[in-house]
Amino acid sequence: MSTSLYERLGESTGIRALVDAIVVRHLKNPAISKRYEPLAGDPERLEEVTQHLCDFLEAGTGGPATYKGKNMVEAHRGMNISGEEYIAVLDDIVGAMQEREVDEATQKDILFIAYSLKPEIVRL
Ligand code: HEM
């Protein structure tokens, strides 16, 4: 049997470290940091969203977690997210994967999944 994407990401521990690295980048990325400022000032909510991101990624890559957050349309509706902001999020995901030394094939698989969610997130 082939190795799942979840396993290739280092299971729950690797996913948590990857998501933490992505969140750090979002908070510093001038193209999108304003979007995440309210979370930066509210540690409980930041932890809740971080955990939701971990569960979303884990459930979507073949891991055992159950995602209990909003679906992508509900989570981003009304934010009027632009294509540029979407690319900025993808930049941070790639940057964090490189920093974590995720192998290139896995990076491509994650990027493909992330890109495919664009119609559920941009300008809703
Ligand atoms: C691959 C692309 C993306 C994925 C997989 C994703 C995933 C998620 C998830 C799982 C949540 C948590 C929802 C919840 O807690 O119920 C969330 C929240 C959020 N997302 Fe995204 N997102 C993406 C792109 C974006 C973009 C491009 C922006 C804007 C720059 C953005 C801004 C936000 C914000 C501000 C929240 C927090 C909302 C709150 O406080 O409840 N997301 N996202």
Q: pLDDT tens digits, residue range 71-124?
A: 999 999 999 999 999 999 999 999 999 999 999 999 999 999 999 999 999 997
pLDDT on residue 29 = 98
Q: Which long-range contacts (CB under 8 A, 24 or more apart) does 91-94 make?
A: 91/29, 92/22, 92/25, 92/26, 92/29, 92/32, 93/22
Q: Are 88 and 31 spatial neighbours (Cβ–Cβ below 8 Å)?
A: yes
Distances (CA, A) of 93 to 21, 25, 115: 8, 8, 11
Question: Is the CB–ligand 1 distance for residue 85 below 6 Å?
Answer: yes
Helix ranges restricted to H, the chain = 5-8, 11-28, 33-40, 43-60, 72-76, 83-99, 104-116
Give the domain range for residue 94.
Answer: 5-120
Question: Is the CB–ligand 1 distance for residue 122 below 6 Å?
Answer: no
Q: What CATH number is associated with residue 60?
A: 1.10.490.10
pLDDT on residue 1 = 61
Calpha distance 77→121 (Å, rounded): 7
pLDDT on residue 93 = 98
Q: Kindly state the average pLDDT of the residues 56-60.
A: 98
